[in-house]
Amino acid sequence: MFILVDDQERENEGDLVISAQMATPDAINFMATHGRGLICLALTRNRIEELNLTLMSQSNTSRHETAFTTS
C-alpha cells in the first residue's frame, strides 16, 4: 500500500492505493480506519455493465467528472 499524491492545482490530496490482489480484509480495514474517506475501485465499462451498476449522477457537472456508480 502506498500514498498517491496529486497536483496542488487539482484536488491537492493523497490517496491510499493498493493492488486488487493485495486487498485483504485487514488492508481494507486500515484504509477505512485511517484514510477515513471513500474506498474506490477502478472498473472497466464492460465490468460495470456485467454488474449492472448505474452512474450516481446522469448529469455529472463536477469539476473532475469522476464517474461514481451506485453500489
Q: What is the pLDDT of residues 1-27, one digit of tens each?
A: 999 998 888 778 899 999 999 999 999
Tell whether 32 and 45 lie within a shared domain: no
pLDDT at residue 34 is higher than 90? yes
Tell whether 22 and 51 lie within a shared domain: no
Tell whether 32 and 54 lie within a shared domain: no
pLDDT at residue 64 is higher than 80? no
Query: How far is the CA of 21 from the CAs of 29, 32, 51, in angstroms?
Result: 15, 18, 20
pLDDT digits (tens, 9 = 90+) for 41-51: 989 999 999 99
Tell whether 12 and 33 lie within a shared domain: yes
Domain boundaries, position 59: 41-71
